[in-house]
A = this chain, B = another copy of it.
Amino acid sequence: MDNYMNYPYEKIKKFCEDAFEKFGFNKEEARIITDVLLLSDLFGIESHGTQRLVRYHKSIEKGMIKVDAKPETVFETPVSAVIDAKDGMGQVVAYRAMELAIEKARKVGMAFVTVRNSNHYGIAGYYAKMASDQGLIGISTTNTNPIMVPTYGRKAMLGTNPIAIAFPAEPYPFLFDASTTVVTRGKLEVYNKLDKPLHDGWAIDATGNGSTDAANVLRCINDHLGGGILPLGGISEDTGSHKGYGWGMVAELFTSIVSLGTTSDKTGSGGKGGICHGFFVMDPAICGDPDAIKAHLSAYLKELRDAPKAEGQTRIYTHGEKEVFAMQDRLKNGINVNINTVAEMRDMAQYLGMDVVAYLGEEALSIKGKESVYK
């Protein structure tokens, strides 16, 4: 892989933790942020890992993310809490919110915690997995900057609005983590770089007509001309567009609506992120023997994997399986980081007064990279 450099997981972890401490987070906060970011890289979801470091840095510099924010619980019951993140780092407040939901669910059987005035929190699945790692059922969702156009509209009114659900199972948990758009913006950017036409049903231009022209769609989005990405289900009700739009709304309900926070269409305005999250935890023990429930799901997941395959296909995956394999591979063989990202990390290290060679190796010094935001 010519355009990638390989680093052991521990090395990137050390870099990220130290960098976030230099940005002003305390040791535990830096650990949490790093853990969320790198789970994405370990899972093979390159878009949400180290690739995003620059974006977080820029948001901190602009004051959109406040390093010293003191999130406040503004409403609380034994089964719930509403937290005002006070523009803090998404990962930090989300981690605390999920911890609180787990603590409450352990006592009452289930709990819901919602967060407003936050920022992007990384992959939704991380927080759902926090619950399943402890034998609980976890759901995590967030709204995002507007990019989803509602069915028959031409202006983005919802975010990618991912929802993640984790459920304990053997040999690995069920972990479903998906945007409610048909694809994410990253996919459009990849197709644009490759000069490939987009799939039908992925995006619309400023007129609201379907478009396969990635460059044009991205320009429409960036210049706020209209257009955007379609809901899961594509452009028409015939292919279920209204269903993806409905799931996007469900994410909105359990984030911005119940928290009285900022709906996706108004996020990012006035220099504020305004992102909202929702976390739900259920202890399977409220339905019976958790081991029996886990065994029942594990057997069903195995049946699904063993079910007859379509002609030309060799595997049926269950959700979270690919991520487990990717993680095993990367923990053993290291993480391949795109050289543009390495260049960004190098420039960030220099900006923060970190020793580039010690953290990223001699080679990192000579990478050209894209035009750096640090120059």
Contact = CB atoms under 8 A, between A and B. Distances in A.
Contacts of A352: none
A110 B309 contact: no
Contacts of A247: 176, 247
Interface in A191-215: 199, 201, 204, 207-209
Given A152-B310, A153-B308, A174-B253, A287 B75 contact: yes
A157 interface: yes
A242 B199 contact: no
Interface in A311-325: 311-313, 315-319
Contacts of A292: 260
Contacts of A256: 296, 300
Nearest to A202: B239
Contact of A310 (B183, B207, B246, B316): B207
Interface stretch (A6-14, A52-60, A76-84): A76-84
B182 A79 contact: no
Given A153-B307, A154-B308, A246-B319, A109 B77 contact: yes
B165 A250 contact: yes
A152 B108 CA distance: 40
A127 to B, nearest CB: 16
A263 B79 contact: no
Contacts of A309: 152-154, 208
Nearest to A176: B246
A257 to B, nearest CB: 5
A292 to B, nearest CB: 6
A226 B308 contact: yes
A167 interface: yes
Contacts of A165: 246, 250, 253
A170 to B, nearest CB: 13
Interface residues of A, number: 81
A287 B263 contact: no
Contacts of A167: 253, 257
A232 B242 contact: no
A293 B75 CA distance: 13
Contacts of A318: 249
Interface string A221-244: 000001000001110001110111
B303 A182 contact: no
A357 to B, nearest CB: 41
A284 interface: yes
Contact of A300 (B263, B288, B307): B263
A178 interface: yes
Contact of A315 (B152, B157, B226): B152
A287 B258 contact: yes
A282 interface: yes
B232 A265 contact: no
Given A79-B110, A201-B239, 16 more contacts: A108-B108, A149-B310, A152-B310, A153-B304, A153-B310, A155-B307, A157-B303, A176-B247, A183-B240, A208-B311, A208-B313, A233-B233, A242-B317, A260-B288, A260-B292, A263-B300
13 contacts: A75-B288, A110-B110, A112-B287, A153-B310, A153-B313, A154-B310, A155-B308, A176-B249, A199-B239, A232-B240, A233-B233, A233-B240, A260-B293
